[in-house]
Each structure stands twice: as C-alpha cells, then as structure tokens.
Amino acid sequence: MKHKRIIAFALATTLVSGYSTTVSAALPTYGEEWQNAEATQSTVSFADLPSTHWAYNYIAEMVNRKVISGYPDGKFRPNNTITRAEFAKIMITASGITPKKVNYSSFSDIPTANWASPFVESVKDYMTGYRTADGKYIFNPSAPATREDVAVALVKLKGYDSNRLADQSTIEEMFKDYAGISEFAKSYVALAVENGLVSGFQDETFRPQATITRAEATVMLWRAYQYGNDNKEIGGGQTTTNPTPTTPSVPSPATPGSSAPTTPVDQTPSSTPSAKFTVETLVGGSGAGDVDGPVRTAKINQVDSTIVDKNNNVYFLDSQKMKIRKFNSSNGTVETFKTINQDFNWDYKDAEGNAKHYDYKNLTPLKLAYNPASNKLYLVAKVSARTIIYDITGGVSVAAYDFDHEEARFVDFIAFPDAESILYGVTGSHESHVYEGKLNRSQVERIASSTSYNALDLSDYYGYAPVAAAHATANNLYVFGRSKMYNLQLFPTKVDKVAEYENTRFDSASAYNGKLYMSIAGTVYEMGEAGNMTTFINENDLIYKDGVQIRQMKQMGFDNNGNVIFYDDNSKSIRRINL
C-alpha cells in the first residue's frame, strides 16, 4: 500500500513568506524553534491565548488548517502538557493520513472502542510503543509526550533517511545533556537538528525527557511543515508490498515414549500480527578490525562473549586479542575496557601454606558475566588449567576459584541468585558440571554433574560449546542447554529434566527477567519455567534499518529496556532489535 505524503505548506495560500518546503533549512540556532512565526493573515480567538502569546501565530495557522483545535469552553490551554495519544491525533491530522476504525488493537492498553484507537493505529510506525515484562505491547496513551518522543516521530513521518548513521557529533557538541538522549533516538534527534525541526534551548540543552505543552507541540508540527523535503513519501519514499508473513513453527518437544516428558507448546506467537521491530547496528559492520573510537569508525575483530550493564553499555570479549572492549552507550564510542595483562596475575597460598603463582600468560578467557544485583562485572577464565573468576568492575581481583576439579573446556552459563553468590556450568571431557560459590575469594563447590545426575547433561560430544543459558532464584536454577531444559533444586539437590526439543539446534540462548530465550536465525523463542516455548520475535516482523538481514544471532542478550542485543559474526557487528 502506498504511503501518504505529509501535507505541504506550498499548497496553502497563507504561506509564511521567505520559506520553501522543498529545501532543508540550515542548522538552527539555539532557541530558534521557539521564536514566533512572522505575521500571517490567520487569526484565532481563545480566551486564554492573547495575540501577544509567543506561539500565537503558530497556533492560529494550525487551528485554521484544522490540525489542532481548542476546547468547547473557548479555551486553547496552551500550557497544558500534551499526552502521547493527543500528539498521535494531531500528528496524523497534520499528515493528511485518514484514520480508520480497526477491529483489533496493537496495544493492550488501548481498546478498539477508545477514541484514540484509530489515531494510535495510524501512528504506530512513527511513535514508539513499549513491551512489558509479560510480553504485552502498550502505548502509554495518557503518559506525557516528551521532546525526544516528538523528534523521533517527526523524523519518521517526514521520511528522512534514518538508515544512514546520522552525524551525532553535531548534537553532542550542541547539547550539554546529549548523554540524556536515549541511544536509539540519537540518530533521529541529529536528523531533526540537521533539517531544522528542532534547535534546543539557549542554555545549550535539548531536554530530551522533558514533557511538552500543547503550544510547543503545535510549534514543532509547524516547523515540520516548514522545513525539509516534503516531496518524500513517508518511510523514505519507498512503496513496498508486504509479503504474506509466515510464522516460524515453534520447535516441538520430545514425543511420548522418549526419555523426555511431553511439554505443552503454545503455537501462537507472543508478538501481535501487526508488531514490527526495527533492527539496527550499534557497532561495527564495516569489516573486521580492532579499532576503538566513535561507532562510525570503530571495528570489531571477534566477539566470544557479551554482557550489558544497567546503563546499556555493552561489554564484549575478544579472546584472540586478549582484551575486553566496551561500547559506551552514553557517548556512542568503543573503548578497550580491560587488557588481559599482569593485572590478572594471582599469588595464592594453599591450605598447607604452599605459594602458588597463577600467571596471566597462562590465562584463557572463557566468559563474561554481569550481576545486576551488585552491578559488578566478572570474567571466568582458565589459568594453568584452574578455573578463576575475576571481578573486573573497577580494578582486577579474584572473586572465586576452583582448584579441585577437572579442567573446564567451556563455561556454558553463569547465573547470580543474589549479589554475593554465583552458579555456573561447565563442559569438561564430555561431561557437564554445575558449581556454586560465594564471590568472596573462596573455593566454589560442585553441586551437580552428569556423572552422578544423568538428567543434567549439556555436554556436546562433537567438542563445541553448547548453546546454554540459565537464571537462578533463591532455591532453583533453571538451565537450558543442548535443546534441553532442567530445573535444578539447590537444597536438597535434585535435578529434573523439564523438556527436550529433539533435533533442534539453536544459535544462541540467554536469560532475562526470569525467562529463557533462544534464537534460530532472526526468530527468538521464549521459555518459561514449565519448559513451554513460544515465539517471542518472528523474523518476518523485522524491519532492517541497517539493511543487513539476520542470518544468525550469537551472544544474544537484553539491554535495560528489554531490547535484544546480539553479535552478528557475518557482519562483524553488534546489533540491536528494538522492542
């Protein structure tokens, strides 16, 4: 279906002189977006809007065009905060898109009978919705619209090319509060500034999370009319025919009679039929390399493990280069966070008082971990065939270790029941083991093993690290690995195989908010504690802002907003699915 075009002021008879809708404006100066429009022939009469009001001419122009209206009591209420639903209505009205009543709602908090439903359904490609922890989609219609919200929506509506990496250095220099702009929104805000839609304030701030009033929203829409190339169609001028989506089948559990129990599988995708998710590149994508700096020039050599902290910084391990690198979400740069050097040396005395020296030159990094309860970062490594867990949050120190058991070939998963404890699984010589310990420089203990508990078996006899993940509670550890899901009761120790998905090889696995997730190509599945698997993201619902289709997700995880972060080895990039 062909997209609508935004209504151009060139068609109007009351154009403000000196402007053209077919050329982009020069970069605006601070406060320009709040300067009053030149006098026009439009007038309007509201009891609370004198002709001396700073936004009078804007409001008069837009009211006469029937983009926005006042209230039945004869007031405009220019200083009232505008809600997301209200902004959806005026933006759709301004764009010339005809809202239509729908028979379903894409958002659980807006029934189809709600007055805002037709407008929200029409605006969902431009205004961001939200996904809750239980998998529902909400719009937050009564929440105030923010300046960041509106800037993103207008850039999308105008059809500016958001696939390219906009020059964020402009807004980084312009705005003191650049770090406060959400990472996903920075490119859009940069495009909004480049094209004269916004300018910020005289104190050199953008105030991305500030709410906006009815007067301010009217002004921003007015500028969207005035500046930029309106000859583009919404969505960048591309007329697309959407293919009929095919829902990937949910992998089926083992059939009755096999060693695994039959588990109910919900064949209905968790995502609604209209839910679309954008995919973008955060770092890399321009060839392999070991280059720090702004994301526009940074390169990735390889990624063996990733974690995301509470501030949405992404840490990734490059075992080949023996370093841990960091994508800093606050400034959009890549830096070397830790180099594995003499700081990782450890001198230790055993129970008999014998001195032991563990040298970093014998260190093999295995896996990164992040404990949200303590906001600490860890590296699990082999040093001289012994497993050592390093706290790498600030400096480098030993948090826990294992000297009594066989050498770990792979670390399969790491989970944290609380701020001071760790549970992790390893693959040895065709055997699986689970260890438990305190993060106070003490010895961990083996609590379960496939040698004594045949149900717990994550080992891969072909010598590859199994795709595995786990999340822990105070009493249980829920583990997924090699297409099997286990419930390990911690005290007394008991292992139950909950489900097995035969002949299904997943690309990655992760844990988030008490659930397990696994991926095949661009599809992500979700698994609860009962072992039932549902489709969390359908790859047919993905829109590629970076133009690169997902072949395989590796090192999948989640940021603080619930977005999926993953490493794409084909493009040597760290990418994000925006939920």
Ordered per-residue pLDDT tens for the chain, 579 residues: 333 334 433 323 222 322 333 333 456 666 666 565 554 567 888 999 998 888 888 888 888 888 888 888 999 999 999 999 999 998 888 877 788 777 778 888 888 889 999 999 888 888 877 766 566 678 889 988 888 888 888 888 887 765 555 678 888 888 988 888 887 788 888 888 888 788 888 888 999 888 889 988 888 888 777 654 443 332 222 322 333 334 456 776 664 434 433 333 443 334 333 457 889 899 998 889 999 998 878 999 999 999 999 999 999 999 999 999 999 988 888 999 999 999 999 998 877 888 999 999 999 999 999 999 999 999 999 998 899 999 999 999 999 999 888 788 889 999 999 999 999 999 877 788 999 999 999 999 999 888 765 557 776 655 566 789 999 999 999 999 888 899 999 988 888 889 888 778 899 999 999 999 999 999 999 998 888 899 999 998 888 888 889 999 999 999 988 899 999 999 999 999 988
Look at the block and give the residue holding tokens 């790859």: 539
Tell me yes or no: is domain 277-578 CATH 2.130.10.10: yes
How do beta strands 564-568 and 573-578 pair? antiparallel
State how far the Cα of 415 lies from the Cα of 424, in Å rounded to an integer.
Answer: 6
Tokens matching residue 529: 């504690």
Give the per-residue pLDDT at 200: 83
Give the per-residue pLDDT at 573: 93
Tokens matching residue 8: 């151009």
To 10 degrees, what angle do helices 84-95 and 147-158 make? Answer: 20
State how far the Cα of 44 lies from the Cα of 62, in Å rounded to an integer.
Answer: 10
State how far the Cα of 513 lies from the Cα of 526, in Å rounded to an integer.
Answer: 11
Q: How many C-beta atoms surround the C-beta of residue 348 within 10 A?
A: 15
Give the per-residue pLDDT at 4: 35
Give the per-residue pLDDT at 488: 92
Q: How many C-beta atoms surround the C-beta of residue 357 within 10 A?
A: 10
Give the per-residue pLDDT at 138: 85
Written as one letter, the residue type at 575 is R
Torsion of CA 95, 101, 102, 103, to 10 degrees: 180
Contact (CB, 8 A) for 386 and 380: no
CATH 2.130.10.10 spans which residues of the chain?
277-578
How do beta strands 442-443 and 397-402 pair? parallel
Contact (CB, 8 A) for 222 and 52: no
Look at the block and give the residue holding tokens 């003499």: 342
Look at the block and give the residue holding tokens 């438990």: 436
Instruction: Give, for 422, the enclosing helix (H) or strand (E).
Output: strand 421-427
Residue 475 phi/psi, 5° resolution? Answer: -120, -15
